[in-house]
Amino acid sequence: MRVLVVDDEPPARERLRRLVAELPDCEVVGEAGDGATAVRLAEEREAEVVLLDVRMPGVDGIEAARHLGHAQPPPAIIFTTAYTDHALEAFETPAVDYLVKPVRRERLAAALRAARRPNRAQVEQARAGEPRQRLCARLGGRLELVAVDAVRYFRAEQKYVTVRHGDGEVLIEESLKALEREFGDRFLRVHRKALVAPAWVGGLQRMDDGRAWIWFHDIDDTVEVSRRHLPAVRERLRMGQ
């Protein structure tokens, strides 16, 4: 079993590495000190299980778990934390197990025995949790995080989706349908290939040829509104977005 160890404290990572090494059929394929690195390494190292600390600076374990739930296929998540099991129930984030620090060898062994790649129901549960605050995009060999609040629009481009934000754009391999389901009213469907963030919309312009376009407060881009979606878009903008 390929295990990724994630904790912002080096001594905690070393302890987990040592415990995993003592267990049969388990190997540590990498370690990370923050959630963003964990998301990248889980894919690169093809981790089957991620031992994931909850409290970390930047992208914490809860948000990293939501990102990992979108991996293909997603790894199993085992949280390691200073919290009690009862307190962690409030996070409502799917996981194989919650291990309270200091992690005991017997508990870790039991959690790893239970860890398997999530079935479809588990994946859907993970994606149905609290929406992410950031999106992960790969630029060359590095991972870029884009705050969802900074996104102006999503536009489908063949098998990718362009994410336009205030400082440029990135590509992600997610469907518009999944993004619309996850973020709900924060984005408005204006075309079968586009979602826009109403908070950033400057207005709606109707052209002489009958086509309509969304324009934004702070960027020069425009997004076409389909005739099918035009009535709903007008109503949403009329209601103050």
> Where residue 198 sits, what CATH number does that domain have?
2.40.50.1020
Whole-model pTM: value is 0.61
- Same domain for 194 and 116, yes or no, is no
**pLDDT value of position 86:** 46
User: Per residue in 163-192, pLDDT tens?
Assistant: 999 999 999 888 899 899 989 889 999 999
- Same domain for 175 and 209, yes or no, is yes
The single-letter code of the amino acid at 69 is: G
Between CA 126 and CA 137 the distance in angstroms is 19
**pLDDT value of position 84:** 62
**pLDDT value of position 136:** 80
- Same domain for 234 and 194, yes or no, is yes
- Tell which of 127, 158, 178 closes a domain: 127
Quick check: is 136 in a domain? no
| Percent share of the chain, pLDDT over 90 | 57
CB within 8 A of 5, min separation 6: which ones? 13, 16, 17, 20, 28, 30, 31, 32, 51
- Same domain for 99 and 182, yes or no, is no
User: Per residue in 121-178, pLDDT tens?
Assistant: 455 555 555 678 888 887 766 667 888 999 999 999 888 999 999 999 999 888 899 8
- Same domain for 161 and 220, yes or no, is yes
Could you list the residue range(s) of the whole structural domain that residue 107 is in?
2-127
- Same domain for 205 and 103, yes or no, is no
User: Closest Cα partner for 51 from 24, 87, 12?
Assistant: 12
CB 131 within 8 A of CB 149: no
Quick check: is 107 in a domain? yes
